[in-house]
Amino acid sequence: MLVTLLVVLASQVRAQEVEKMVDVGGYKLHVRCAGSGGPTVVLEAGASSPSSDWDKVAPEVARFARVCRYDRANVGKSEAAPKPRTGKQVVEDLHTLLGKIGEPAPYVLVGHSLGGMFSVYFAALYPKEVAGLVLVDSSHAEQVKRFEALMTPEQREQSRARLASLPEGVNSVAVREEVGALRWRADIPLVVLAHGAVNKDMIPPGWSEAQLAERERVWREMQQDHASRSPRGQLVVAERSGHYIQNDEPELVIKAIKGVVETVRARGRKGAKRR
């Protein structure tokens, strides 16, 4: 009876919305969690983007699962951390954060753009703690190399300067190289969402129509490669979305997350029955 009561009380605590600053090693990260029910969903925003990028997604996910979103160091409401920062440092910050706030594994990681690279990196470093992934128009380890092959020398120089000087203090070229070296694969539920409409705000300056068409073809190939990293991976094209699918078609992101969460839960129930 006492054990049952403690479980119920713990569930109620986790159902409460929590917003706090957490020290992860000399600087504090801002985190918000809401909802209840495992696996916990962790939302990772794009390059130098705040957790508010998930405003259209997080409240809906909280209706069916525990969901946490946070600002990386040097971003949003989080404190500054020494620069430059590596991809591994970013991932270890998140791992420390989740441990300190008492959010137990396994997790379903959801990463947008460069946040997709951090999510894959986390899954590679802590495979037993990741039960599923949703990649939202995610960056790719070979993205820089494949895009540069389409550029003029002047465009390459401009692109490298921009990618190496993100406000949050990470060199996104180096992060992609770090992730590529891991050659990550796993047998977990994986949904890859790819944009179907070109977002004019994301078009690099000076690109010709032919360059842009080839860029879109290459991007779609890379998204398909993401999906191939798990035998349970699938690619979904958001036909009405630009790069920010979570804003243009948030219902697709929510549906993908819910599908992965339900798959993980069903597998957990089958495992419990076998025991």
- Sketch out the chain's domains with CATH numbers: 16-274 (3.40.50.1820)
Mean pLDDT, the chain, integer: 91
- Dihedral angle, C-alpha 120, 233, 244, 155, nearest 10 °: 70
Is 40 within 8 Å of 68 (Cβ atoms)?
yes
| pLDDT tens sequence across 129-155 | 999 999 999 999 999 999 999 999 988
List, in sequence order, every beta strand (DSSP E) within 49-159.
Answer: 67-70, 107-112, 130-136
Number of H helices, E strands in the chain: 10, 8
Q: Looking at residue 240, what is its pLDDT?
A: 95
Q: How far is CA 10 from CA 20, 54, 60, in A?
A: 19, 26, 22
Could you give the CA distance from residue 73 to residue 93 in angstroms, rounded to a whole number?
A: 8
Residue pair 13/92 in contact by the 8 Å Cβ criterion: no
When pLDDT is averaged across residues 187-212 and rounded to a whole number, the result is 88
pTM of the model: 0.91
Are the beta carbons of 118 and 90 closer than 8 angstroms? yes
Judged against a pLDDT cut of 50, whether residue 8 lies above it is answered with no
Q: 151 Cβ partners below 8 Å, 6+ apart?
A: 159, 211
Tokens matching residue 200? 């004019």
Model confidence band, residue 10 (pLDDT cutoffs 50, 70, 90):
very low
